[in-house]
Amino acid sequence: MSRVIELYDTLHAMPELGFEEVKTAEFLANALKKAGYSVTTGVGGTGVIGVYDSGVAGPTLALRADIDALGHFIDGKLCALHTCGHDAHTSMVLTAAEEIIAQKLISKGKLKILFQPAEEPGTGALAVINAGGIDDVDMILGLHLRPLSEVPMGKSTPALYHGASNRLKAIFRGVAAHGARPHLGVNAIDAAVAAITAVNAIHLNPSDSYSIKATKMIADAGVTNAIPDEATVIWDVRSELNDTMDLLLERAKSAISAGAATVGATAEISTYSYIPAAHYSKEAIEVLSKAIVDVYGEEGLAPEIKTVGGEDFHYYIKERPSIKAGYFGLGCDLTPGLHNPSMKFNKNAMEQGKEVLICATKRVLN
């Protein structure tokens, strides 16, 4: 059995939720130390960073993998399962890290191995940033398994563009009243409906990809013959670009407040679960493109991909714009899809993914 598959089988059997990756972090820290890295644990909570310094002036390259599992309710019980490929990402980065040192492939600069916690809740990257985990990084590279519908086995895309996503929440406050005397109250449901209608009327540049839709509404006076004085609505907000997300949220907040005001209600508005859109450097894309060709040949270089999914990797670029960032998508015949408890893929693809990471590292640090 190959080393990368051996690591995958080990990590797959120890799934842990975000910021609870204690066993995983310990395992990774020990492996990095054994490989010859200087290791720091507890980065941003449960993150692990390994550093190899060549002793020669040069850039600092970070290879990042997410280490947390997903939470699934099975038979009414919350279970941690690796159904997004984070165990595969970690196995490829760790194996690459081991081979790079063993084969003495670095002749300048520093290599930083970043095992990031809590990608699924979208808070792990920010925790690592706030802990100073990437303060000295010049280039950061990441990767993700891709569904068969996007990239087949034997190919990889050098740039996987995720969109921005957000949740917009509004709590509408009216005035409670008896159902027989509606003129004495302000119906929070009316306010919520008016706000939903107002948000649906927002129109941005049609050449920009975006969507905003109400996905949850709660309003209950406790009985059916009373007017509720409170209602909550949540919108799912998505856009291809960060600037479009900012504009869409600004317009939506104005629409919600105005909609509530039409019936005499107020709205308390907040956002949460924000994930920024991807923004890569041409240099990083070129490094990954050449590395993919090194491994697969020209026929293995798949086109760049835009996906509606989100990834907190993009906080690294948003919070540290000077960093050159790249993120490739690995073809592995993955079915039926990510986050599915039945998710499966061709494990042999991890050998190719590991080699892409090694080739990319050589192009930056050798």
The single residue listed with the structure tokens 């290599």 is 111
The share of the chain scoring above pLDDT 90, in percent, equals 98
- Average of per-residue pLDDT values in the chain: 97
What architecture is the 164-275 domain classified under in CATH? 2-Layer Sandwich (3.30)
In CATH, what class is 3-162+278-365?
alpha beta
* CA separation for the pair 220, 189 (Å, rounded): 9
Cis check for the bond before 182: say yes or no (omega within 30 of 0). no
DSSP state of 278: P
* CA separation for the pair 91, 34 (Å, rounded): 15
* pLDDT bracket for residue 1 (50, 70, 90): confident
Q: Which two tokens stand for residue 169?
A: 């929440």
| pLDDT score for 34 | 98
* CA separation for the pair 229, 219 (Å, rounded): 9
Residues carrying CATH 3.30.70.360, the chain: 164-275
| pLDDT score for 125 | 98
pLDDT tens-digit readout, 34-44: 999 999 999 99
* CA separation for the pair 341, 83 (Å, rounded): 6
pLDDT tens-digit readout, 249-296: 999 999 999 999 999 999 999 999 999 999 999 999 999 999 999 999
Residues carrying CATH 3.40.630.10, the chain: 3-162+278-365
Averaged over 150-168, what is the pLDDT? 97
Count CB atoms within 10 A of the CB of residue 349: 25
- Helix and strand numbers (H, E) in the chain are 9, 17
pLDDT tens-digit readout, 18-67: 999 999 999 999 999 999 999 999 999 999 999 999 999 999 999 999 99
Q: How do beta strands 266-275 and 226-227 pair?
A: unpaired
**Inter-residue contact 219 to 187 (CB < 8 Å):** no
Q: Which two tokens stand for residue 124?
A: 């792990």
Which one-letter amino acid corresponds to residue 5?
A: I
How big is the CA angle at 280 (ends 277 and 285), to the nearest 5 degrees? Answer: 140
Closest CA to 278 of 251, 323, 246, 314: 314
pLDDT over 90 at 197, yes or no: yes
Burial 258-274 (b: 16+ CB within 10 A, else e): ebbeebebbbebeeebb
| Sign of torsion over alpha carbons 353, 356, 361, 366 | positive
| pLDDT score for 133 | 98
